[in-house]
Every structure is written in C-alpha cells, then in structure tokens.
Amino acid sequence: MSERTPVLIVGAGLAGLSTAVFLGLHGTPSLVVERHPTTSTQPKARGQQHHVMEALNYAGLADAMVGASPRDTGFQLRIAESASGPVFREILHDTFIPLDELTPCRSADASQASAERILAERARELGAEIRFSTALESFEQDESGVRAVLSDAGGTHAVHADYLVAADGHRSPIRERLGIGTHGRGALWHSVLWLIRADLAPVVGDRQVLYNLQNPQLSGGMGFLVSTDRPDEFVAGVGYDPQREDLADFPEERALDQIRMVIGKPDVELEILNADTTTAGMHVADRFSSGRVHLVGDAAHTMPPQGGMGGNTAVMDGFYLAWKLAAVLRGEAGPGLLDSHDVERRPVGELIAKNQYMNAIVRSMPHLMRPDDTPPIEDAAVLMFGYRHNSAVVAEPGDEGELLEEPRNPTGRPGSRAPHVRLSTPDGERSTIDLFGREFVLLTESETWAESAEKLAEDLGIRLRAQLLGGEVTGDWTGKYGVTADGAVLVRPDRFIAWRAKGAGSAADLENALRAVLDR
C-alpha cells in the first residue's frame, strides 16, 4: 500500500524548501525528498534581496536570514586581473541598498548553506517531512494524481501525491522524463573551483568580496574569488575546456599555481579543502508545468551568477506556486489556477536569466556580445518589484507583452505588485505589504465593499479578508493603487493585485472577479 501526501517535492535546495515552507504557511503539508545526505554544505548563491525578504517575512524567517548574514561591512564586486589588482571596474559597494520608498524590508546576505538550513527547520515546523538520502526512481501521473517510487537505504516504496514539484536541479531528471526541452543562450563558461582556507585579510580586507577576473595567464583566461561564511575560507575558480580537460588535469601543483594567480600573491599560504567543476550559462525550460508536475528553481531556469538573482528567483518560485497549490488542494480553487504557474513564472524567469546572462557578457566577456543584444537592466528594483503578470489569475489582465513597469511610479493595475504604502495604526506604523501573505485581501475605505467581501468569503468558502482603511488604520494609499475612496483592490496571497474597482461597484463585480481568478 502506497504512502500518501498532498505534495511531493523532489529536491531540498532553495526552491524545494521554499515551496515546502510556503505550503506549510497555507496549511498544506508536503513530503520533501533529497538524494544528498544533508542540505548544501558548499558555498553557492548568497544574498536575499528585498522582494525575497518580503516573502520570507510572511513565513517568520526575515530575522533569521539577517542573523545569518555576515556583519554589515558592505560588499565589493570587482572586475580585475587578480584580487590584488589591478581593478578594471567596481560594480557594487554596498550589499544592503536601502529601498525604503518601495518596501518595508531590508535585504540580507545569508549564504545558500545557511539559508537552506533555516528553510528546512521552518518547513518542518510548518508540517513538512524532509527525507535525505532518498531518491526519486520513477513516477507516472494521471487525473487522480502522481504515483512515485522512492528509494533509500531501506529499499524502494511507493508514494501517491496529488501534485509533484520538480526542484531537482539544472539537470532535472523529472523535466527530462516529461520530455520538456530547454532554450536559451547555453553555456557561457566551465570552471574548476576550489574551496580554500587562507588569510586573505591583507588582500580583501573585512568585506564580503566577489572578484570576476580577466587574466590570460589563468586557465581559460578567466577566474573568480568569492567570500564564504567563514572569514578564512574562499572559493577560487578558473576556466577550463571540458572537451579537453577534467578535474584530474588540475593536480595540486597546478591548482596551487592557478589559485595564487587568482589571489595575485605568488607566495600566499593556503590549504585546498575540496575541488569541483561547474558550468555557468542560461537555460529556460520550454514549459514550467506538465499536468500535475510543476518545475521550480534550477529545474525551470539556470543563469550565470552575475546579478545575484538566481537563488532569489528559486525562492520566489516556491512562494508564488505554493498558495496556488494550497488553494486547489483545499477546494477553494479549480485546477485551472495552476495553469498560471507557467504563464506567470516563465516570462519572469526568462527575463531574469537573460538579464544575468547579459550582465556576465558586459562585465566579463564583451567579445561575445551580439548585434541584437540589449544591455542588462541595471536597476535591481525593476527586476524585483516591476514585473507584471498577464494570466487568468488576474481578472483584468494588463496589456499583452508589457512585462515591466517602473515600481517607483506604481499604477495599481491588476497584474502588478501591490505598492508599499506606510500606514498609521493603533500599534504603530505598518506597511500595506505587511497585510498580505496568507489570504486574499480586499483593501478599501468603503464599508459596503468590506461587507460584500466578508459575505463572499463565507458564501464561497474561501480565505478572503477585508482590510478597512480609514478610521484607525490610515494612509495615503488610493493614489498608488489607482482608486478613489469608494474603490476597492483585491490582492492575492502573493501580494499581486488580482482586480480593482476604481470607484463604487457591486458585490457581483467582486464575486465575478473572484470566480475568474479562482477558476470557480
């Protein structure tokens, strides 16, 4: 007899664990399986941008991520010949860029290893079961669910899930078994990387650093050096050609020589802790969903690290997918709601992946620029808060093809993120952003709209809360949301605007919008 779970998540990286956390936040348990024995122990992606911190704050994790960040000494991202110089260009000086006009949250700089541990602990608290050293051997799906075979040290056993989330990495066996191809610009470079222990304070100071290196003496003519959570440990890397070389072609003597050229100090004392290879490039899945299977994280999109949005996008994949899965599993929404995962997340994933690809080209490999290439978007706030959705989960879709808007001049149009507005409450200052995250919220100053929302929540059996503004909770919100004092704005659990009435309207208008959004 097979085990049952509402959602089976394959992969306990940032995307899989985030999906489990946000499913739990919405009251839906999940089973997470991971073929490795633990969460990541290697320095990989680091940093949680402001939009991610908004999502993590809903799950009670923002403070934990800040606490896991290195002390706030700033961040250096430099294009150079070596870590000792000369420096060709400095990209960024401060990790914690204030965006107070856009969000109540600050960013954090926790490493992927720390972030995964934090997410795993919270996922368990919220009802997820996580099994390490457990692999997905096979699966099949039909209209009743997904039947999977798992293997661990005790043998194989069957699991029946309503839905399967593929968070199984850039090679994604699940994606391959579904026959979903990928597209994009392909591999940019292949690297050998080493985790090293060395006292580099005389070279890098006490700041977090990332050096992208251009040096013909380095293997492949390029390299990098990046900080880890430990002040005396770094990741150093150089390029290599996998058609002619592999890790064995970098024995200790050659490795030490290359690492010292990366640092720029031929006599520096260092210890190599481990070595590996990696590939940086841009690939996006042709579809993010197939029946009851949904792709997140690297299974859906891979990108070069330049721009720092890869891990962040993986977390947000889980945030945006989880509330939809939970609503369908609770019976509050029809299965058509899940069709929006591909429609909404694929354009955003492709946009961010392409932007980071262009960042890599501009910063490190300008000779690969094509005539039809466009410069990357330098304003991270646009990538975090400016993208819009055009799908059936927006009752009044925006203009087709219009993916971005300037978040500093919000429109309040359906499909855009609900703007941050400071509110005065009896408990002190809050943000409109703080009101969202767990259910649909109707923002309004009209008691008529509020009463309609409360009745519809009961009649339709859905999680919908009316937030009456004015009175004890006040703020200049109508302008940014594009409504009058008689209007109303329906905000999804992921703080995107689903529908609005610019002025007075009827309960039928709101009901029609909810039914459209929820596929009812």
pLDDT at 207: 77
Pairing of strands 233-239, 182-197: antiparallel
Q: What is the pLDDT of residues 105-130, one digit of tens each?
A: 999 989 899 999 999 999 999 999 99
DSSP string of 228-256? Answer: -SSTTEEEEEEE--TTT--GGGS-HHHHH
DSSP category for residue 30: -
Residue 244 φ/ψ, nearest 5 degrees: -120, -15
Q: Is the pLDDT of residue 381 over 70?
A: yes
Mean pLDDT of 319-336: 97
| From-to residues of CATH 3.50.50.60 in the chain | 3-69+107-183+282-382
User: What pLDDT score does 400 carry?
Assistant: 56
Predicted pLDDT at 98: 76
Question: Model confidence over 164-212: pLDDT tens digits?
Answer: 999 999 999 999 999 999 999 988 889 999 999 999 999 988 777 889 8
Mean pLDDT of 249-271: 96
| Highest-confidence segment of 18-22, 94-98, 405-409 | 18-22
**Token pair belonging to 236:** 């150093």
Look up residue 118 and give its two tokens: 């934090």
The tally of CA atoms less than 13 A away on the side-chain side of residue 130 is 26
Tokens describing residue 406: 């300037």
Peptide bond into 86 cis (omega under 30): yes
pLDDT bucket at 468, cuts 50 / 70 / 90: very high
Amino acid identity, position 478: T
Rounded CA separation 262/254 (Å): 12
Report the SS3 class of residue 220: helix
pLDDT at 401: 53
Give the CA distances from residue 202 to residues 83, 95, 265, 268, 328, in Å, rounded to whole numbers and listed in that order.
11, 21, 11, 11, 56
* Pair of tokens at residue 234: 């770094």
> 184-281: which CATH architecture?
2-Layer Sandwich (3.30)
Q: How confident is the model at residue 396 (pLDDT cuts 50, 70, 90)?
A: low
Task: Summarize the confidence of residues 385-402 as an average pLDDT.
Answer: 74
Dihedral over alpha carbons 308, 314, 319, 320 (to 10 degrees): 100
Residue 97: the pLDDT is 67
> β-pairing, 293-295 with 155-166?
parallel
Which value, to the nearest 10 degrees, does the dihedral of the CA atoms of residues 167, 170, 171, 173 take? 20
Rounded to 10°, the helix 310-329/14-25 angle is 40
For residues 19 and 15, what is the distance between their CA atoms, to the nearest angstrom?
A: 6
> Residue 278: which residues within 8 A CB-CB, separation 6 or more?
190, 191, 193, 237
Mean pLDDT of 363-392: 88
Euclidean distance between CA atoms 82 and 76, whole angstroms = 14
The CATH class that applies to domain 392-518 reads: alpha beta
What percentage of the chain carries pLDDT values higher than 70? 96
Q: 155: Cβ–Cβ under 8 A, 6 or more apart, which residues?
A: none
Window from 36-45, 271-280, 346-355, 489-498 with minimum mean pLDDT: 36-45
Q: Provide the pLDDT for residue 9.
A: 98
Look at residue 397 in the predicted model and tell me its pLDDT: 56
What is the rounded CA–CA span in Å between residue 97 and residue 368? 30
Question: Where along the chain do the CATH 3.30.9.10 domains lie?
Answer: 184-281
Token pair recorded at residue 203: 């070279």
In the CATH scheme, what architecture does the domain 3-69+107-183+282-382 have? Answer: 3-Layer(bba) Sandwich (3.50)
Supply the DSSP string of 111-176, one letter for each residue.
EHHHHHHHHHHHHHHTT-EEESS-EEEEEEEETTEEEEEEEETTEEEEEEEEEEEE--TTT-HHHH
User: Which pLDDT belongs to residue 73?
Assistant: 54
- Mean pLDDT of all residues belonging to the chain: 92
Q: Where in the chain is the domain with CATH 3.40.30.120?
A: 392-518
| Under 8 Å between Cβ of 283 and 346 | no
Instruction: Return the DSSP state at 407.
Output: T
Helices (H), 300-446: 310-329, 340-364, 380-385
